[in-house]
């Protein structure tokens, strides 16, 4: 309910960065791989901006935002596919200093097969054969918003050409690379599953049969 109504909190076990550290991070800048993929990054961020996922602003306009931290992005080339851009939230210890407020037990890696087999075993044979369906949620992390006051804490140094005004990108949603993004996303999807299964077991709000 908190994620839905107020957004995901971003809290640290350390004090806010000083202006000196912000300037140091800005001077260090993004990973050099970004300079090789500037057109790709510009296209990528325009798309994410239009979807309401990220926003890019001049550094001079955001340098005094409370809690501001700046992390370097990078780009990973992929064979026969578009490059993949990432944020290194570990470089300046953003991940290490993040408080583990997300329920990590929601990430049930390694137990998926056990869960599937259990559901198959317990299924009512009177209902007919069992069908399995795998759903991949596009931009999954990007469907859960951050708390608006905490957005500056996950800032990213946006790469620019030499001599251009320095820019900073801010995620409005769960960013890839932040340590709390996976458990928060898993908690949200597991909760949606629990609510759905509870409604089905109580025979309330049962959806009409799918045509497939």
Residues in contact with 64: Cβ distance below 8 Å, sequence separation at least 6, in sequence order: none
For residue 156, what are the CA distances in angstroms to 68, 129, 152, 176?
A: 10, 50, 9, 12
Q: What is the pLDDT of residue 175?
A: 96
Number of other residues whose CB lies within 10 A of the CB of residue 73: 20
pLDDT of residue 104: 82
Residue from 81, 102, 95, 91 nearest 189 by CA: 102
CA nearest neighbour of 74 among 181, 162, 138, 157: 157
The SS3 of residue 87 is: strand
**Whole-number pLDDT of residue 30:** 95
pLDDT at 96: 97
**pTM as predicted:** 0.86
Task: Give the mean pLDDT per block of 10 residues along the chain (212 residues).
Answer: 93 96 95 92 94 96 97 92 92 96 83 87 91 85 95 97 94 96 92 86 75 80
Which pLDDT tens digit goes with each residue over 80-108?
888 999 999 999 999 999 999 988 888 87
Whole-angstrom CA distances from 183 to 11, 35, 125, 151, 176 are 15, 32, 34, 18, 12
């Amino acid at each position: 309910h908190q994620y839905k109504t107020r957004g995901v909190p971003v809290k640290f076990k350390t004090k806010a960065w000083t202006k000196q550290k912000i300037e140091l991070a800005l001077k260090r800048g993004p990973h050099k791989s970004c300079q090789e993929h500037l057109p790709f990054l510009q296209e990528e961020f325009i798309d994410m901006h239009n979807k309401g996922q990220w926003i890019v602003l001049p550094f001079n306009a955001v340098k005094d935002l409370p809690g501001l931290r700046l992390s370097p992005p990078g780009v990973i080339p992929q064979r026969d596919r578009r490059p993949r851009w990432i944020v290194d939230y570990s470089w300046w210890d953003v991940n290490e200093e993040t408080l583990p407020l997300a329920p990590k037990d929601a990430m049930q890696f390694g137990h998926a097969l056990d869960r599937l087999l259990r559901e198959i075993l317990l299924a009512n044979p009177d209902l007919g054969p069992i069908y399995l369906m795998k759903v991949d949620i596009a931009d999954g992390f990007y469907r859960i918003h951050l708390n608006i006051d905490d957005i500056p804490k996950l800032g990213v140094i946006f790469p620019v050409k030499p001599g251009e005004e320095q820019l900073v990108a801010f995620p409005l949603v769960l960013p890839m690379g932040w340590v709390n993004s996976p458990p928060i996303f898993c908690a949200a999807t597991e909760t949606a599953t629990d609510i759905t299964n509870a409604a089905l077991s109580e025979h309330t709000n049962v959806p009409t049969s799918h045509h497939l």
